[in-house]
Amino acid sequence: MTIEEQAKLIIEKFPRPITEKDPFKVLIRTILSQRSRDENTDEAAERLFKAGYDKPEKLASAAPEELYELIKPAGMYRQKAKRIIEASKAILERFSGKVPDALEDLVSLPGVGRKTANIVLYVSFGKEALAVDTHVHRISNRLGWVKTKTPEETEFELMKVLPKELWGPINGSMVEFGQKVCRPVGPRCKECPLKDVCPSSREKKK
Cβ-proximal residues to 113 (8 Å cutoff; 6+ apart), any chain: 107
> d(Cα 30, Cα 124) in Å, to the nearest integer?
12
Segment holding 120, helix H or strand E: helix 114-125
**Where in the sequence numbering do the catalytic residues fall?**
115, 133
> d(Cα 127, Cα 119) in Å, to the nearest integer?
9
Residue 116 and residue 23 in contact, taking contact as beta carbons nearer than 8 Å: no
> d(Cα 92, Cα 123) in Å, to the nearest integer?
21
Cβ-proximal residues to 168 (8 Å cutoff; 6+ apart), any chain: 122, 123, 126, 127, 128, 129, 130, 131
